[in-house]
Structure 1
Amino acid sequence: MASEQAAGTSGRRGYHHGDLRNALTEAAVERARAGGPQAIVLRETARASGVSSTAAYRHFANHHELVVAVKDRGLAMLAATMRAELAAGEPCPDPGDEALRRLRAAGLGYVRFAFAEPGLFRTIFHGVTEGDPMIGRRQAAAAAGDGEGHLPGTPDESEESYTLMSQALDELVVLGRLPAERRKYSDVVMWSAVHGLSVLLLDTELAHLPDEIKADIVRRGIDVALNGL
């Protein structure tokens, strides 16, 4: 298969059809890491990948499709950070304590990703629209929920960064540590806690606090959320 050649500048690398989409996504991810969602520009991404805009449009019909690809990649990185936080801790012998440890670790991993990758974090949650990976697929749910605590517009079971917390909550119910009647919407509450901490400590005057104070705030915030369950 003929390669899709770089445009305009000799010596740029050409990409075969099979890997250009990935190269474009990687280039767009790097732009988002450096400058947030506003830095994702299809033409500039094509240039960074060494191809023409025409070649890029064969893989992404528009800017929105490229942004969605970046969000997908960012969500995978977020989940990896949360998994790393889970793996770094010592498992608890008691299953209930272990479920709580995992819930806490998942929340800490979420916030730490936000601090480490603010550009990608802002991109993931910027301008959520139809087709966005952060929108749940249960669109048939009523606006007030579907009776099981699933709200429309929340991530679905395929979104690992969300289910890492959700599954720990389910285990707490099975183990009798969380009353079943209090399980409803608990994943949204926990998500709100860690997401709210992330946004406040990134994008408000609290961003200027020393790192050790931010860490204390995060720990305290997660404590409050867990105790509230």
Structure 2
Amino acid sequence: MPKKRGYHHGNLRQALVEAALELIEAKGPTGFTLSEAAKQAGVTPAAVYRHFEGREDLIAEAAHQGYEIFADVIDYAYQSGQPSALAAFEATGRAYLAFARKYPGHYIAMFESGISVNRNPELAKVARHAWDVLERAAEDLSQHIPAEKRPPASMFSAHIWAMSHGVVELFARNSPGKQSAFAAEDLLETGIGVYLRGLGLIAPDD
């Protein structure tokens, strides 16, 4: 039976987001209704429409909050991975895995709900901030290569993001039928190493 969470100090909007996150995690982004979110939050369905136009609007807010957390997690990983540019870059990949495990509802709202990051300017801005951290780490990693021979940081940071996402989807979120003898962190770290060596961004013995 859904728990009555209620809300305090008029924070109904956040209570609905938290209810939606639980439902997203349990049923997927299309597996619940606004009425269910309202019931989970302990309010009437009509109260939802004072804050959200519909279910997609509610999921977009969950994604927005997720990107804020994600950007902080990635930025902290990047900063704590210093002074080595390689260590900082690898730390951002591990942070991606950690975020997906710790915040599954947010992760699904961000990457599996079909909600575009360009749905509204605020969501686009916070999503871009998360991307900028990874791109900055990529820039740092490639500084030792002459500018005319340097691969675009936006290109190889995108590849690393895609690799991180693939490892999460296939091996870190217990997808049915997808098994590996190796930990997700090990798969990602070795994959990043092979890729970066192939681009000449790190030495063979790093």
1:29-87 per-residue CA deviation (whole Å, 9 max, x = no partner) reads 23223443234531111112221111111110111101101111222232333344345
Structure 2 gaps of 5+ residues are 200-206
- Offset of 1:124 from its aligned partner? 1.4
Aligned counterpart, 2:95: 109
The 1-side partners of 2:5 and 2:155 are apart by: 51
The 1-side partners of 2:139 and 2:168 are apart by: 24
Aligned counterpart, 1:30: 22
- Which AA in structure 2 matches 1:209? S
- Structure number with higher relative contact order (C-alpha < 8 Å, ≥ 6 residues apart): 2
* 1:171 aligned residue (125, 140, 148): 140
The 1-side partners of 2:198 and 2:50 are apart by: 50
* 2:42 aligned residue (50, 64, 83): 50
Contact 2:167–2:184 (Cα < 8 Å) also in 1? no
Relative to structure 1, is the Cα distance of residues 12 and 193 closer, same or farther in structure 2, using a 3 angstrom cutoff? Answer: closer
Give SS of 2:183's match.
Answer: helix
- Which AA in structure 1 matches 2:43? V
Q: TM-score by structure 1 length?
A: 0.68
Relative to structure 1, is the Cα distance of residues 157 and 65 closer, same or farther in structure 2, using a 3 angstrom cutoff? Answer: closer
Aligned counterpart, 1:224: 194
Percent identity over the alignment? 26
1:66 aligns with 2:50: no
The 1-side partners of 2:94 and 2:120 are apart by: 23
Aligned counterpart, 1:152: none
The 2-side partners of 1:87 and 1:28 are apart by: 32
Higher mean C-alpha displacement, 119-128 vs 19-28: 119-128
Aligned counterpart, 2:68: 76
Contact 1:103–1:164 (Cα < 8 Å) also in 2? no
Contact 1:36–1:120 (Cα < 8 Å) also in 2? no
Of structures 1 and 2, the larger Rg is shown by: 1
- Offset of 1:198 from its aligned partner? 1.4
- Which AA in structure 2 matches 1:167? R
Relative to structure 1, is the Cα distance of residues 136 and 53 closer, same or farther in structure 2, using a 3 angstrom cutoff? Answer: closer
Q: TM-score by structure 2 length?
A: 0.74
Relative to structure 1, is the Cα distance of residues 86 and 187 closer, same or farther in structure 2, using a 3 angstrom cutoff? Answer: closer
Structure 1 gaps of 5+ residues are 1-10, 93-97, 138-154
